[in-house]
Amino acid sequence: MANRSRIIVTGGMGFIGSHTAVELSIADYDVILVDDLSNSDISVLEGIKKLCKTEVYFENIDLKNRLACFSIFEKYDNIKGVIHFAAHKAVGESVGNPMKYYDNNINVLLNILYALVNFDIQNLIFSSSCTVYGETKDLPVTEQTEMKETASPYGKTKQMGEAIINDFTVAYPTHNAISLRYFNPIGAHPSAVIGELPLGKPENLMPYITQTAIGLRECLSVFGGDYNTPDGTAIRDYIHVVDLAQAHVVALNRLIHNLNGKSHERFNLGTGKGISVLDVIKSFERTSGVSLNYEITKRRKGDMEAIYADTELSRSVLKWEAKLSLDDMTRTAWQWEQELRKKKE
């Protein structure tokens, strides 16, 4: 079909970007994936195309280069919005290399905003994070919870990103944005055709669990067993990546159909449930049938004790809520890990 609406997905080859591309296709959008493959693999494209019934275009571009960024907007017509994922996201790395994070995460966002103005594209979805709340003790966190200082440059780029977008929507009133504050996305597409693809040793819990179970890692370290939580391990709000991806389509349609209440809205995307590290391990053992080799070690520097979302605003205003369970998350993550190893053999 010639006239299908197109959506630019920056960072479209990444974990959340790839799952969002599939949900956009289900919603009958063509997708333009823009990615420099700095933290993803070209093989993901094949998986996305397999799952998409609409057109999928791929542009290997470093969005820090403004002319290259603009070239995409020149090349394609009928672009109805941009979902902006492209960013560095390793909290620990950002502490050691802050300039890399400010340079990439801020400059790329600015280039996207310039492009939105230049090419008159009015709808932006921004990939934010619960990290914007910083070290908060107010649980669950609502969108009104005061943002505290966040320890990592990564977190600061998300706080700054939201602030920049806010100023942008004030200066350009015909442009609208929604910032989505993710809690902890895990799991994989139920087809096991796409999933999380960490390069090297995983930093995050779920891929570390599946790589340990499959024999790539010897033992999972559970960082801290002495937190003030029911089982002593840290609490997070884990959300299935497919639920999260669907929220992007809901948010985008809200902007496209002018249903938004103000020009820049922010929503938490979580399940609202506080889950401990041991809860995740137990769920994984239950759904995979594998007994996991793990040990409780000392706390990881910079980790918070507990954070989980108040989901009322996304439920009542976005009319979206997460449907998939923790067992769905661990089951699909395991299926994906097994498929991945089969492919690599």
Crossing angle for the helix pair 241-256 and 15-26, to the nearest 10 degrees: 60
Choosing from 126, 208, 284, 308, the residue that interacts with ligand UFG (CB under 6 A) is 208
Contact call for residues 325 and 233 (beta carbons, < 8 A): no
Would you count residue 222 as binding ligand UFG (CB under 6 A)? yes
Residue 62 or 203 having the CB closest to ligand UFG:
203
Contact call for residues 205 and 277 (beta carbons, < 8 A): yes
**How many residues of this chain interact with ligand UFG, rule: CB under 6 A?**
21
C-alpha span between 3 and 5 (Å, rounded): 6
154 labelled catalytic? yes
CB atoms within 10 A of CB 128: 22
Would you count residue 236 as binding ligand UFG (CB under 6 A)? yes
Choosing from 54, 105, 131, 283, the residue that interacts with ligand UFG (CB under 6 A) is 131
CB atoms within 10 A of CB 30: 21
- Out of 29, 133, 154, 227, which one is annotated catalytic? 154
Would you count residue 159 as binding ligand UFG (CB under 6 A)? no
Closest CA to 193 of 54, 24, 9, 22: 22
Indicate the residue type of 132.
V
Indicate the residue type of 31.
V
What residues contact 216, with CB distance under 8 A and at least 6 apart?
A: none
Binding to ligand UFG in span 71-100, by CB under 6 A: 89, 91
Q: How far is the CB of 304 from ligand UFG (least distance, A)?
A: 7
Choosing from 65, 166, 204, 253, the residue that interacts with ligand UFG (CB under 6 A) is 204
Q: Please choose, out of 56-64, 218-226, 256-264, 322-330, the segment that lies near ligand UFG by the rule CB under 6 A.
A: 218-226
Q: Please choose, out of 17-25, 197-205, 264-272, 308-316, the segment that lies near ligand UFG by the rule CB under 6 A.
A: 197-205
C-alpha span between 60 and 68 (Å, rounded): 10
What residues contact 234, with CB distance under 8 A and at least 6 apart?
A: 223, 224, 227, 276, 277, 303, 304, 305, 306
Contact call for residues 172 and 117 (beta carbons, < 8 A): yes
Residue 252 or 278 having the CB closest to ligand UFG:
278
What is residue 263's DSSP assignment?
S
Question: DSSP H helical segments within 59-123, as ranges?
Answer: 66-75, 91-96, 98-101, 107-118
Residue 14 or 81 having the CB closest to ligand UFG:
14
| DSSP helix/strand/coil, 81 | strand
Closest CA to 173 of 264, 266, 73: 264
Binding to ligand UFG in span 8-37, by CB under 6 A: none
Q: How far is the CB of 211 from ligand UFG (least distance, A)?
A: 10
Residue 194 or 234 having the CB closest to ligand UFG:
234
Q: Please choose, out of 63-71, 112-120, 216-224, 259-267, the segment that lies near ligand UFG by the rule CB under 6 A.
A: 216-224
Residue 277 or 340 having the CB closest to ligand UFG:
277
Give bridge partners of residue 269 from the DSSP assignment.
182
Residue 190 or 232 having the CB closest to ligand UFG:
232
Between strands 220-223 and 264-269, the pairing is unpaired
Q: Please choose, out of 28-36, 123-131, 193-201, 313-321, the segment that lies near ligand UFG by the rule CB under 6 A.
A: 123-131
Q: Please choose, out of 9-17, 80-88, 125-133, 248-256, the segment that lies near ligand UFG by the rule CB under 6 A.
A: 125-133
Q: How far is the CB of 320 from ligand UFG (least distance, A)?
A: 20
Q: How far is the CB of 238 from ligand UFG (least distance, A)?
A: 8
Question: DSSP H helical segments within 102-240, as ranges?
Answer: 107-118, 153-171, 205-213
Would you count residue 303 as binding ligand UFG (CB under 6 A)? yes
Residues that bind ligand UFG (CB under 6 A): 89, 91, 129-131, 155, 184, 203-205, 208, 220-223, 234, 236, 277, 300, 303, 307
Which residues are catalytic, by number?
154
